[in-house]
Chains A and B, each alone.
Chain A
Amino acid sequence: MSRALVAVGLSHHTAPVDVREKLAPQPGAVLGLLTELQDLGIGREAVLLSTCNRVELYAVPGPGHDAEAVARWLAERHGLSARRTLPYLYQHRDDAAIRHLFRVTSSLDSMVLGEPQIVGQVRDAYKLAREHRATGPVMHRIMDHALLVAKRVRSETRIALETVSIGRAGVELARQVLGGLEGRAALLIGAGEHGRVVARSLLDYGLTELAVANRTFSRGAEVAREFGAAAVPLDEAGRYLERVDIVLTSTSAGRILLDRAQLSQVSRRRRFRSLVLIDLAVPRNIDPAIDQVDGCYRFDIDDLRQVAETGKAARLEAARDAERIVDEEAERAWQWLANAELNASIGAMARHAEQIRRDELARAAAVLEQLDPDARARVEAMTKAIVKKILHAPIRTARTLAADGDRHGLDVLVGALGPGDAAPASEPPPEGAHDDDPRLDADGEDGAA
C-alpha cells in the first residue's frame, strides 16, 4: 500500500537561491511535469507549487512509489544529480505532509510571516492542476481544506493585520490619524527611496491624489509619472501644505525644510484639520518641534521602524495561535485521509474476495445450472456469507491497525488478502465490506448461510 500523500520540495529555509532557481519550472512547463509524473505512475494526483521562495510538489504517490521516488524524479527531471539535490529537498509524508501544506498556505512558512500572496499562489497552483485533471479526490479535499485553514488563520488571528514593512507602517500611521485614505491627498517632497516606498503603499491603500515636488523638477516629473501623480516645483510646495492631508519628505537636502513657525501658520489656516507629516530623510527635513503644533502629527523613519518591529513581534505572537489552528485542522484532515485510505484498503480486500467467489461460482456454473432457482439462490447466499465471515476478522484487524497507526501491519494484511495493490483511497469499498455494516452482523455473524 502506498503513502496517502507526500510533500517534496525546497524553500528559502533549506536551499540557496542558486539551487531553488534550478528546480523552478519554466513558465508553462508545470503541466508537462504533472503529466509526466502521472504517466510514469510516480504520482496518481499532484499539485506543483512554484514561487520565488519555494518549489514544492504535493502528490498522491502511485503504487510502489513514495516521497523518495518523487524527490528523485523531481531532481532528475530538472537535469540535477539526485545525490547532490536530495539534501536540499524536504520530504513529508501523510499527516506531516498535510501539516506542511497547511502551514505553507497559512503563510507560517513564508519569508515574511503572514504575507498574503501565498494563498493566491497555492490557489493558482491547485486550479492549474485541477483544470488539467492532475488532481483527484484526495488532492481536492486536502487543497480545499488548506485554503479554508488559511482563511480561518487570517480571520481568527492578527497575523495578517500587523504591520511589518516601512511602507505599510506609513500607511498605518496615516490611517491612525485620518481614518481611511480614500479621498485624501498627499505631497511627496523629494525622490528618496523610502519616500517612494511609502507613497506607493499609500496609493495601494486608497490614497486619491499625490503631488511630487523635487529640487530638480525633471526628476520630480519622472517620479510623478511613475505614480501617475502631478509634479510641482519645489518652491510651490508650500501652497500644497494647506490642502493635502499627508506630507512625505525624502530629500537629501540635509536640513530642515518645514519648521514649526511655518507649520503653525499652516495649521491655523487649515483650522487645525489633521496633517500627517512623515519625514523619511536622514538628516531630517521636518523640525521635531512641530510635535507641539496642534493638528500636526509628525513621524520620522525611526517611528516607522518602531511600528514595523512591533508588528513583527505581534505577528510572531499571532503565529502561535495560527500554529494551534493548523495542528487542529491537520489532525482533522489526516483523520479523514487515513479513514479514506483504510476504507479503500478494505474495499480492495472485499472486491478481491468477491471476485474469487464469482470466479468459483462461474467454474461451477454447469453444476449450478442443474439446480432449481431456489437452490441456486441459496448457494449464492451461502457463498456470500462465507466471504463475509472470512473477511470479518481481517477487516476488524485492519481497523485496529489503522487506529494504532501501524501502517506496516496494514500493508502486510492488505498485501496478504488484497489483489496486490490497494485501490485508490477515494474508491469506495463495495457495499457490505465494512465490519460495522449492519448486514454483516445480520448475515455474516448470525445470518443464515
Chain B
Amino acid sequence: MDRALLLVALACYLAPLLSRDDGRLRVLAARWWVPAGILLHVQGLALAFILDSVPLRSMTEGLGLTALTVMLAREWFGRRPRMGLLRRILLALASVLLGLAAVAPSPEGAGAPPSIFFLLHIGLVLTGFAAFALTFSMSALFLVVRRRLKSKDLSEIGRLPSLDTLDVLVIRTMAFGFACLTAGIAGGLALGLITEGKPPALDFTTIVTTLLWLWYAAGLVARVAAGWRGRLVAVFGVGGFVAFMVVAGVGLALSGWHGMGA
C-alpha cells in the first residue's frame, strides 16, 4: 500500500516533466498534481514508517524521505525569481529518488526498537544527502547557464538564475549538507558506542558515507583555502553526487543500509 502511494506520487511528479512546454496539462500538473503528489508522498512515507517496525530502516523510507526533502526544497527555492529551470531539475531528481524508493527491496525480519540516537543519525545523514542532491542540482544548472552564455545562446537571458547566485547557493547547500552529514556520522558513532560499546563496523554504507563526507570536505576546503569557485565547484558538486548515486545505488541495492537489505 505504501509503495502504491509512492508510485502514484511519482506519476504526479512526472506529469509536468513529460507534458509539452506550452500544454494545458503542464499548467494543471504544476498547479495541482505536484502538490497532490507531495501529499501522497507524505502519506506513503507515513504508512511505511507505521508498517515498518524500525522507521527509516529500509531504503524505501530513506530514499523516499530524501526525495521528499528535495521536493520541499524545490518549493522553497522555487519561490525565487528566475528559478523555473531549477524547479524542473529538482523535480526530475526527486522523481528519480522516489522511483528508486518505490522499487527498492524491503528489509527482512524485525529490527531492534528505534532509539532517539538512531533516528537522529539516520535523519541527519539523509538530510545531508538531500542537501548534496540540491548541490548537484544547483551545480548542474550553473553549468547549463554557463554553457549557454559561453556559446552565445542568449535566448533565455533574464529567465535563468544568475551564475553568482547559483555559485553562492552551491556553496551554501554544500556547507549545510556537510554539517548535517558530519553530525549524522558522529551520531552513528555515538549510537554504536552506546548500544554495542564499540564503533560500528566498516560496512558498505559506512565506507560510502565516509567517502562522500571526505569528498565534500575537500570541496569546502578548496573553496575556502584555494578560492575555488564557479565552474570548478560546480563540476565538483555534479561529479561527487553522480559518483555517489552510482556507487551507492548499486551497493545499497545489493546490501541495504548497513547490510540490512535484501
Contact = CB atoms under 8 A, between A and B. Distances in A.
Given A176-B145, A274-B230, A294-B230, A163 B157 contact: yes
Contacts of A73: none
Given A178-B162, A178-B164, A179-B164, A173 B157 contact: yes
B229 A272 contact: yes
Nearest to B226: A271
Interface stretch (B2-10, B41-49, B148-156): B148-156
Interface string A293-307: 011010100010011
A179 B165 contact: yes
Nearest to A294: B231
Contacts of B229: 271-273, 295
A282 interface: no
A155 interface: no
Contact of B228 (A162, A272, A274): A272
Most buried by B among A172, A175, A299: A175
A197 interface: no
B226 to A, nearest CB: 8
A278 to B, nearest CB: 12
B227 interface: yes
Nearest to B163: A177
Contact of A176 (B152, B163, B226, B228): B163
A303 B232 contact: no
Nearest to A296: B150
B232 A172 contact: no
A211 B112 CA distance: 69
B227 A271 contact: yes
Interface residues of B, number: 21
Contact of B158 (A176, A273, A295, A306): A176
A272 B232 contact: yes
A261 interface: no
A297 B229 CA distance: 14
B152 A175 contact: no
Contacts of A303: 152, 154
A375 interface: no
Nearest to A161: B158
A179 B161 CA distance: 8
A310 B157 contact: yes
Contacts of A273: 229
B148 to A, nearest CB: 9
A88 B125 CA distance: 74
B227 A272 contact: yes
A7 B220 CA distance: 65
Interface residues of A, number: 23
B30 interface: no
B160 interface: yes
A271 B226 CA distance: 8
A156 to B, nearest CB: 14
A291 interface: yes
B229 to A, nearest CB: 5
A306 B152 CA distance: 9
A163 B157 CA distance: 9
A299 B149 CA distance: 9
B232 A176 contact: no
Contacts of A297: 149-150, 163
A347 B161 CA distance: 59
Contacts of B230: 272, 274, 294-295
Interface in A152-199: 161-163, 172-173, 175-179
A25 to B, nearest CB: 38
Nearest to A174: B162
A310 B154 contact: yes
Contacts of A299: 152
B157 A177 contact: no
B108 to A, nearest CB: 51
Interface in B157-210: 157-158, 160, 162-165, 167
Interface in A268-286: 271-274
A158 to B, nearest CB: 9
A306 B155 CA distance: 8
Contacts of A163: 157-158
A393 to B, nearest CB: 49
Contacts of B231: 272, 294-295
B149 to A, nearest CB: 5
Nearest to B160: A176
Interface of A: 161-163, 172-173, 175-179, 271-274, 291, 294-295, 297, 299, 303, 306-307, 310
**5 closest residue pairs by CB, A with B:** A271-B227, A179-B162, A179-B165, A179-B164, A177-B163
20 contacts: A172-B158, A173-B154, A173-B157, A176-B158, A177-B149, A178-B162, A179-B162, A271-B227, A271-B229, A272-B229, A272-B231, A273-B229, A274-B163, A274-B167, A294-B232, A295-B229, A303-B154, A306-B152, A306-B154, A310-B155
Interface of B: 145, 149-150, 152, 154-155, 157-158, 160, 162-165, 167, 226-232
